[in-house]
Amino acid sequence: MTFLHAPYPAGRPRRLRVDDFTRRLVREHVLTPDDLIYPVFVLEGKKRREAVASMPGVERVSLDLLLPVAEDCVRLGIPVMALFPVIDAKRKDERGSESANPRGLIPTVVRELKKRFPELGVMTDVALDPYTSHGQDGLLDKAGYILNDETVEVLVKQALTQAAAGVDIVAPSDMMDGRIGAIRTALEKKGHALTRIMAYSAKYASAFYGPFRDAVGSAANLGKSNKKVYQMDPGNTHEALHEVAIDIAEGADMVMVKPGMPYLDIVRRVKDEFRVPTFAYQVSGEYAMLKAAAQNGWLDHDAVMMESLLAFKRAGADGVLTYFARDAARMLLNR
């Protein structure tokens, strides 16, 4: 494609930057509260609140303390809250059995949120790492290798349990082969045809997940192990398109790229190639870096928060999972 430009002085690009109203008039991409998904960490019990040391401003909270947060999301116009469980070590085992407990933490929280705030979308993580004693997203064989098909069977049970509780969106983040098709088939058979699937389609084996693993309590269990046999190699881009294509073909309604800013090139390639609802996760490590730099006075907190979120929109993301969601929504509304 060839673009024609008037030569200087007939062409002066700075004319369109001369004042605020003109800059707003010609702005190509904008961020609104509708673009935000707010991830939260929920604890068992009541009146429990725990700060996540590696994520300043982020807390693990019990359901009773989560309800005012949900109410705030509704008031701010944030469409969806994403739930991540913090499970007591006594409930963890090698198979992540607690993940499919209909009276477990996540189904209980989903039912209460949908009863009190039906207009707030609720998304749940489909993965076993918060529930396994070894911290991996799947079942292990005797050599410690992650079993694919056996893991998918457990993930299907987890997804069905969440759907039965009334969740709006299930989000498989495990990166097992074939899990989207298996979950979609099971949802259809059990009468959950309208339960949406947001697939973590291009999820990389990233070092940016550290604070999240601290928050959900899987870091200690994982130890020196890693997830490179199922999460993607950070050096690959074509593979991401292959993964996304498979998930769409298996019935994903939306796809996600994770992490976010270090992988904006992947977001752009996915959106350009498939033209489907595409999301990105501004992960815990990204959040922690910006927070730490701002606390040290090295960066303007609000300015870099908003600039980083706008970058996702510019790269092609339809929405962003971010721990900044409530702060960003407040700024947007106050404007």
DSSP 151-184: HHHHHHHHHHHHHHHT-SEEEE-S--TTHHHHHH
Give the gyration radius of the chain's Cα atoms.
Answer: 21
Letter string b/e over residues 278-302, b meaning 16 or more CB atoms within 10 A of that residue's CB: bbbbbbbbbbbbbbeebeeeebeee
Our answer to whether residue 203 is catalytic in this structure is: yes
pLDDT tens for each residue of 222-271:
666 788 999 999 999 999 999 999 999 999 999 999 999 999 999 999 99
From CA 185, how far away is CA 30, in angstroms rounded? 37
User: Per the residue annotation, which of 92, 203, 227, 313 is the catalytic one?
Assistant: 203
Contact of 29 with 313, CB cutoff 8 Å: yes
- Residue identified by tokens 């050096």 is 235
Contact of 322 with 287, CB cutoff 8 Å: yes
pLDDT of res. 82: 98
279, containing H or E segment = strand 278-282
Residues of the chain where predicted confidence (pLDDT) is lower than 70: 1, 217-224
User: Per the residue annotation, which of 114, 142, 189, 258 is the catalytic one?
Assistant: 258
From CA 121, how far away is CA 14, in angstroms rounded? 42
pLDDT of res. 219: 56
Contact of 287 with 202, CB cutoff 8 Å: no
- Of 171, 172, 174, which is closest to residue 146 (Cα–Cα)? 174
